[in-house]
């Protein structure tokens, strides 16, 4: 139907392809290489189009589009967040993404991003911690042991050097599953009976709960000097995990302030409360942690540039691995203005 059959073919990375890609590369290597691509893109932050994600909220959850472009490539992610889904045997978060050529508008990649989002979120957390946590940080508490927890643990081990893990979830079966999944990784894992027990002696505290509500996962008295907080769970209006007093004591670092003020922990603060942009630290524009006793907080909500980096990284691996399908996605007639003619030629073929 097309003068050039390759023009309408788009590489498609399915869930199965993504799992095989991650396993072929190795989870730790995948996370480490992805972290490097994220750092590359954050270091050229000013080249990107930036906008808060376009969100459609309901009582049940949220559906969002996250677009960005560096002027050469355009990327977006479709993602949902529905905490009730687990009760129905579904994922809380699912996603897919597209990477396109700005010059002609044609998609260059369509990929699953449910698994990829967990990997990029973990890589982003570890990148932030590498720049903000104390350099000798080895013990991390993870409060909330859902679908993100193992990825976070492995990223912090591979990228930051965390060796000891302390786990707590209000659902003990989630903690047991996470601990079992991490057997053989070299991490020392302790199952804790409370969030207070989990944070005792921790250098880094990761909060990654799913419920879309304002909750106090960390109270002020649980956070001592020198701690780095990786607040991953705050990701929509009305959902927070940290007591406000913790924010007032912390050096706060965010991805994109206009989005984080809507969805992150800092929605608890005045709209003009000063925060730091992480890209400036990664690009060497400013220092991260002020002192060994400072409390640093990465108020992470996820931003489109991270997804752009993840798609860019995956696309770079396709030629060498062949882990993709060819998707006939784009109508491309012999004569660009004769789209209807494609239907007529298809009709003729069917009749024949």
Give pLDDT tens digits along the chain (352 positions): 333 446 679 999 999 999 999 999 999 999 999 999 999 999 999 999 999 999 898 888 889 999 999 999 999 999 998 888 988 999 888 999 999 999 999 999 999 999 999 999 999 999 999 999 999 999 999 999 998 999 999 999 999 999 999 999 999 999 999 999 999 999 999 999 999 999 999 999 999 986 666 678 899 999 999 999 999 976 667 778 899 999 999 999 999 999 999 989 999 999 999 999 999 999 999 999 999 999 999 999 999 999 999 999 999 999 999 999 999 999 888 888 899 999 999 999 999 8
Domain-located, residue 127: no
- Integer Cα distance of 35 and 342 in angstroms: 44
Find the helix or strand (DSSP H, E) in which 107 lies. strand 107-112
Best CA proximity match to 122, nearest among 142, 97, 138: 142
Domain check: are 312 and 294 in the same one? no
Domain-located, residue 124: no
Domain-located, residue 206: yes
Domain check: are 296 and 178 in the same one? yes
Phi, psi of 240 (to 5 degrees): -140, 160
- Integer Cα distance of 124 and 308 in angstroms: 12
- Look at the block and give the residue holding tokens 């009730």: 84
Joined together, the tokens standing for residue 196 give 């207070």
- Integer Cα distance of 297 and 36 in angstroms: 21
| Alpha-carbon dihedral sign for residues 161, 162, 164, 165 | negative
- Integer Cα distance of 54 and 69 in angstroms: 15
Helix or strand or coil: residue 206?
strand
Domain check: are 92 and 198 in the same one? no
CATH code (residue 235): 3.40.50.720
pLDDT value at residue 213: 61
- Integer Cα distance of 27 and 151 in angstroms: 9
Domain check: are 249 and 162 in the same one? yes
Domain-located, residue 288: yes
Domain-located, residue 349: no
Instruction: Single out the catalytic residue among 41, 169, 203, 235.
Output: 235
Helix or strand or coil: residue 325?
strand
Domain check: are 315 and 332 in the same one? yes
Domain check: are 263 and 323 in the same one? no
Domain check: are 171 and 53 in the same one? no
Domain check: are 330 and 253 in the same one? no
Domain check: are 46 and 194 in the same one? no
235 is annotated as an active-site residue: yes
- Integer Cα distance of 97 and 75 in angstroms: 7
Split into its structural domains, the chain has a count of: 2
Centre a 10 Å sphere on the Cβ of residue 202 and count the other Cβ atoms it contains: 25
pLDDT value at residue 288: 95
Best CA proximity match to 241, nearest among 201, 293, 206: 206
pLDDT value at residue 123: 98
Domain check: are 95 and 237 in the same one? no
Domain check: are 279 and 332 in the same one? no
Helix or strand or coil: residue 225?
coil
Q: Which domain holds residue 330?
A: 5-115+306-343
Domain check: are 156 and 286 in the same one? yes
- Asked if residue 198 lies in contact with residue 166, where contact means CB atoms within 8 angstroms, the answer is yes
pLDDT value at residue 211: 64
């Amino acid at each position: 139907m097309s003068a050039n059959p390759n023009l309408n073919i788009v590489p498609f990375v399915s869930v199965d392809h993504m799992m095989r890609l991650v396993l072929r590369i190795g989870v730790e290597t995948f996370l480490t290489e992805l972290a490097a691509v994220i750092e590359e893109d954050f270091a050229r932050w000013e080249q990107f189009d930036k906008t808060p994600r376009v969100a459609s909220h309901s009582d049940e959850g949220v559906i969002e589009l996250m677009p960005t472009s560096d002027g050469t490539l355009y990327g977006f992610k479709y993602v949902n967040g529905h905490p009730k889904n687990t009760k129905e045997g579904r994922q809380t978060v699912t996603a897919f993404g597209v990477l396109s050529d700005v010059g002609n508008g044609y998609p260059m990649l369509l990929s699953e991003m449910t698994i990829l989002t967990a990997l990029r979120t973990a890589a982003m957390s570890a990148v932030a911690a590498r720049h903000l946590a104390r350099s000798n940080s080895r013990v991390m508490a993870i409060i909330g042991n859902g679908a993100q927890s193992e990825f976070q643990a492995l990223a912090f081990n591979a990228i930051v050097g965390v060796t000891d893990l302390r786990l707590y979830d209000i659902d003990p079966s989630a903690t047991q599953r996470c601990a079992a999944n991490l057997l053989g990784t070299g991490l020392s894992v302790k199952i804790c009976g409370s969030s207070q027990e989990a944070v005792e002696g921790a250098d880094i505290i990761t909060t990654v709960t799913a419920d879309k509500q304002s909750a106090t996962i960390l109270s002020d008295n649980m956070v001592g000097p020198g701690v780095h907080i990786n607040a991953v769970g705050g990701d929509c209006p009305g959902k927070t995990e940290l007591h406000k007093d913790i924010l007032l004591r912390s050096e706060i670092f965010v991805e994109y302030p206009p989005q984080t003020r809507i969805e992150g922990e800092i929605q608890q603060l005045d709209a003009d409360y000063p925060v730091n942009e992480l890209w400036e630290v990664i690009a060497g524009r400013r220092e991260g942690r002020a002192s060994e006793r400072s409390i640093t907080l990465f108020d992470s909500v996820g931003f489109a540039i991270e997804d752009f980096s993840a798609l860019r990284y995956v696309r770079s691996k396709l030629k060498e691995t062949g882990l993709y399908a060819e998707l006939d996605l784009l109508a491309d007639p012999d004569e660009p203005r004769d789209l209807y003619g494609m239907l007529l030629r298809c009709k003729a073929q069917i009749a024949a």
